[in-house]
């Protein structure tokens, strides 16, 4: 009887934990170097976690070095955990499209290769529909003056990058790459999306 009671308590507490985390959702974006992407999305109110990693390739458990060759087919991506009660998926899409150049195929600035492609990995049909609608509107209105080439693919296995890639900008803000490449993007985010940032 005591064992049944303990099991019931364990199951109830596990159910409670699931109910709490049920509200959180995932979004996955590739927009060039994941250090830049991570630094931006971490600052958004409603985003609870951002992980840098790789997705969309054909090799299991690729290393950063493997992905850098472009041979694995993976893109550098961020997996964003967010609370839709505080920030909606289409708001994340807006930040995504306004924070990189979605018109350059397999390239962001000086970073060239399929690993730097612009891509949305959708986790459900609603995300797919929103991403496709937004992309169509950008192209119909010629928002960028050139066609948006962002790929919209079904989410596949996400591989988390090594620990030193996580929280990179916050830990290495004084590095030349952070100051020259990431900081201007963060400053732009703070200007355009001031109302969406954490206080």
Based on the residue annotation, tell me whether 68 is a catalytic residue of this protein: no
- Distance, CA of 31 to CA of 113 (rounded, Å): 12
On whether the CB atoms of residues 114 and 55 are closer than 8 A, the answer is no
- Distance, CA of 68 to CA of 61 (rounded, Å): 14
- Distance, CA of 147 to CA of 145 (rounded, Å): 7
Beta-strand pair 75-82/47-55: antiparallel
Which helix (H) or strand (E) covers residue 8, if one does? Answer: helix 2-22
- Distance, CA of 14 to CA of 17 (rounded, Å): 5
- Distance, CA of 101 to CA of 116 (rounded, Å): 11
Catalytic residue, candidates 33, 36, 68, 178: 33
On whether the CB atoms of residues 103 and 146 are closer than 8 A, the answer is yes
CA distance from start to end of the chain:
50
Q: Catalytic amino acids?
A: 33
């Amino acid at each position: 009887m005591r064992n049944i009671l303990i099991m019931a308590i364990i199951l109830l507490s596990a159910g409670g934990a699931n109910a709490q985390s049920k509200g959180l959702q995932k979004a996955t974006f590739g927009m060039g170097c994941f250090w830049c992407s991570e630094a931006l999305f971490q600052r958004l109110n409603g985003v609870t976690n951002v992980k840098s990693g790789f997705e969309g390739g054909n090799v299991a458990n690729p290393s950063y070095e493997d992905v850098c060759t472009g041979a694995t087919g993976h893109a550098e991506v961020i997996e964003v955990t967010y609370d839709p009660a505080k920030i909606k998926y289409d708001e994340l899409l807006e930040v995504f499209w306004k924070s990189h150049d979605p018109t350059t195929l397999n390239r962001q600035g000086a970073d060239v290769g399929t690993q730097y492609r612009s891509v949305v990995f959708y986790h459900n049909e609603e995300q797919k529909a929103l991403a496709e609608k937004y992309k169509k509107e950008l192209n119909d209105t010629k928002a960028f003056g050139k066609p948006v080439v962002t790929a919209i693919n079904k989410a596949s296995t996400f591989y988390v990058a090594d620990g030193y890639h996580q929280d990179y900008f916050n830990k290495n803000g004084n590095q030349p790459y952070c100051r020259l490449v990431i900081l201007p993007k963060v400053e732009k985010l703070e200007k355009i999306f001031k109302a969406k940032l954490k206080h």
